[in-house]
Structure 1
Amino acid sequence: MSAARPYIPRPGVRAPAAPRFRQNRKAELRIWWREVDRVLLGLVLALMVIGSVAVAAASPASARRLSSSSVRLDDLYFYWAHLRWQVVGLAVMLGASLLTRDTARRGGIILGAAMIAALVLVPVLGSEVNGAKRWIDLGIRFQPSEFLKPAYAILLAWILSWKLRDPDLPVIPATMGLMGLVGLLLMMQPNLGDAMLFVGAWLAVAMLAGMPMQRIMMAGGAGMAALALAYVFYDNARHRIDSFIGGGTAFDQVDLASKALLGGGWTGAGLWLGRRKMQLPEAHTDYIFSVIGEEFGLLMCGLVVLLYLAIVLRVIVRLLEEENVFALLAAAGLVVLFGGQAFINILVNLQLFPSKGMTLPLISYGGSSTIAQCLTIGLLLALTRRNPFLSRDGLGLKAALARQEKLR
């Protein structure tokens, strides 16, 4: 048998590029694995695993409540759907974590502009669910406010970082205008919970960007005044606050959720053995933390809280040595939105906060929420990537890059 003939390039004919492409892709993945925050990634995956089990526990309650004489949902209907959304979310998370900071910034700006435009269209084209217009149905139904959350943090950081080029630019008023526009569009749905979350994220990022204390006090006073005006003139806010204080349908739901959460004791009743969850209106979304408490106990609830705290603290620690202003502000905004939504949901389940209609990030069932939260984590992983040789060995840039090249 004759030996294989070697490839001899001919004039005008390019050599095959596939092997080099595969080698470059493998090298990029190795670099990503060394630079990505594997501790943060592990904490997030742990939350998603708990979420899968929690949705399996809550699925029968929601499936039976939503079944009718004509349509009978399988008890694990929401569980199987949740697994599919988690697979899509994982792909989005890992894909976003591979982005460079410049690409993440550009993508966030484009996504933010698109989702603000979608919010404008929600009152016209939106589909109504439970008395609120928050979704747009274009063959695939999605909630623009969920996808705006990661983009909003990118937009705030991008605008505030302009001050490095020109200290005289009015970046704080510009971000206030953005926050006001988003808040107004959300309250039209109505979606007071997300509006308050966006305001809180703006305040945290603006403070980190160096907003003077006088303006911080003024912003706090304006926020209190806005809340008072919302109570007087905004029916949704008045209804939720009155229900939280003096009873009503929303109060009954939160009271039932609190009783279900505490009813399992320290170790819980066991998977599919909870009874109070069958009466919860949104067991698989808004009140899934109460389902965890009833079926798996307060110890598991404590573990969930610790995981959220660990994610927030891990990002903060990761940002302590960050020198890029945009990355610092964007990551801070992302983690405030993520952690803030988690703890608002938990406080509602504990009957310590008015009902907001918010999901528990990475745990509750939901297509838009799952993918958007995974995108948030993916952007956090991209923005907090670090070259380990630059931070640990104190090497110069050229020496660190040379050492990294040898490891390839």
Structure 2
Amino acid sequence: MTAFSRNDRTTVGRWFWTIDKLLLSLVLLLIGCGIIAVAAASPAAAHRYSGGSIHVDELHYFKRQILWVLAGVPLMLGVSMLPIAWAKRVSIGLTVFFIGCLFLVPFVGAEVNGAVRWISLPGFQLQPSEFLKPVFIVTSAWLLSVRFDDKSIPTMQLSFGMLVIVGALLVKQPDYGQTALFAAVWLCQAILAGMSLTVVGGAVLTGVGGLALAYAFVPHVTLRIDKFLTGGGDTYQIDRALDCFKAGGLFGAGPGEGQMKFKLPEPHTDYIFSVIGEEFGAIACMMLAVLYLAIVVRVLLQLLDEEEPFIFLAAAGLVTQFGLQAMINMAVNLKLMPSKGMTLPFISHGGSSFLALSLGMGLLLALTRRNRFLKSSPYLTPLRSVS
């Protein structure tokens, strides 16, 4: 027996009958897996960053993650209730705001591990690029969709110009991984919006040329690529990550029984997938990868009959960013890609990351809301209006 009647026209009632319950369930399951993963990684992270203190709260990062979940899940659900028009307006406003924050980062940002990417706030470090990702994608989708109504407006160029500005600000930090992710998602959206193959080829060549220049002139990039290709230099991080997978085998050492994780840098963030491999085994890692794939496939299936260009481009971009980020993190942990410093969505510990992902998933849930009982109903009208 459901709590809401199909005739319930309240915001919550309409949300209940139009939300993609399968997609929401998969996301909540992923968040639950993240809580377990952070609980497993928390002791290793606490000991590593305790500064040698004998009084270590081994559940410090686990407790903080619970707080982020308690903040992030309501944020996600609240955003998912937005009508499409408001989701677009909020995204455009936040895009302007967080691009402004990126301009401020070099002047007021805090340096961590040689990069200036965060703005320090009381009890919290804000990473503007994390929050910018989902709203930038929605704003870009809006710009690219305008060309379907008026081809005389250079929206493709305007969207690309916005990408160039964001990319330049990210390279300044430096954050080449996020720059590549922004560019890849934008290119995917532009192709779906009808970018010519000639321009696509030019964009790809430009990206390859940019990577070659970074390799030639940026020591940080050169070092990471050389370590990946030759195995030379300091490979401590990836070696410890692979040791975790070897120690875990197929079924894992058991919850709380992992030992290699205590030698692993960033066990609660960048390399949490390796902690999962040690404590829960390769089978659990494969199941987690399947869960990410299920979320991506579910969204793509929802978009097969989507006729509104803005909704199609925005949802496609958001799920591409989500899937790519997960794939990159897992590939880095398995030594299939050079280290990127990118979190595993909804699994890694982190305030900016979790809240930004909650914002992005809330937008995706709002974009994929459908009335599955009636082809025409009062519930559908406010969702499909994109003016």
Q: 1:75 aligns with which of 55, 58, 67?
A: 58
Partners of 1:196 and 1:162 lie apart in 2 by 25
Report what 1:54 is aligned to: 37
Three-state SS of the structure 1 residue aligned to 2:118 is strand
Provide, for residues 5-26 of structure 1, a one-character-per-residue CA deviation record: whole Å limited to 9, x for no partner: xxxxxxxxxxxxxxxxxxx997
Partners of 1:247 and 1:58 lie apart in 2 by 26
The yes-or-no answer on 1:117 pairing with 2:100 is yes
Partners of 1:300 and 1:263 lie apart in 2 by 14
**What is the CA-CA distance between 1:194 and the residue it aligns to?**
0.6
Provide, for residues 41-80 of structure 1, a one-character-per-residue CA deviation record: whole Å limited to 9, x for no partner: 0110111111101100000001001112468430010001
Equivalenced residues, count = 374
**What is the CA-CA distance between 1:274 and the residue it aligns to?**
0.8
Provide, for residues 337-372 of structure 1, a one-character-per-residue CA deviation record: whole Å limited to 9, x for no partner: 111111000000000000011110000000000010
**What is the CA-CA distance between 1:203 and the residue it aligns to?**
0.7
Whether the 8 Å contact between 2:40 and 2:275 is mirrored in structure 1 is yes
Whether the 8 Å contact between 2:370 and 2:380 is mirrored in structure 1 is no
Q: In structure 1, what residue type is equivalent to 2:165?
A: L
Question: Which segment is superposed worse, 305-314 or 212-221?
Answer: 212-221
Report what 2:239 is aligned to: 255
Q: 1:156 aligns with which of 134, 137, 140?
A: 140
Whether the 8 Å contact between 1:240 and 1:250 is mirrored in structure 2 is no
Q: In structure 1, what residue type is equivalent to 2:345?
A: P
Question: Which segment is superposed worse, 247-256 or 166-175?
Answer: 247-256
Report what 2:384 is aligned to: none
Rg bigger for which structure?
1
Partners of 2:231 and 2:273 lie apart in 1 by 22
Report what 1:6 is aligned to: none
**What is the CA-CA distance between 1:248 and the residue it aligns to?**
5.4
Report what 2:283 is aligned to: 299
Q: In structure 1, what residue type is equivalent to 2:263?
A: Q
Report the CA distance shift for 1:131/1:249 in structure 2 as closer, same or farther (over 3 A).
farther
The yes-or-no answer on 1:126 pairing with 2:105 is no
**What is the CA-CA distance between 1:246 and the residue it aligns to?**
3.0
Q: 2:177 aligns with which of 193, 198, 201?
A: 193
**What is the CA-CA distance between 1:138 and the residue it aligns to?**
3.1
Three-state SS of the structure 2 residue aligned to 1:336 is helix
**What is the CA-CA distance between 1:402 and the residue it aligns to?**
9.9
The yes-or-no answer on 1:371 pairing with 2:355 is yes
Q: 2:366 aligns with which of 379, 382, 393?
A: 382
Report what 2:160 is aligned to: 176
Unaligned runs of 5+ in 2: 1-6, 382-387
Report the CA distance shift for 1:134/1:71 in structure 2 as closer, same or farther (over 3 A).
farther
Three-state SS of the structure 2 residue aligned to 1:388 is coil
Provide, for residues 111-147 of structure 1, a one-character-per-residue CA deviation record: whole Å limited to 9, x for no partner: 1111111111111100011111110013242100100
- TM-score scaled by length of structure 2: 0.93
Partners of 2:61 and 2:379 lie apart in 1 by 51
- TM-score scaled by length of structure 1: 0.88
Report what 1:239 is aligned to: 223
Q: In structure 2, what residue type is equivalent to 1:306?
A: V
Identity %: 48
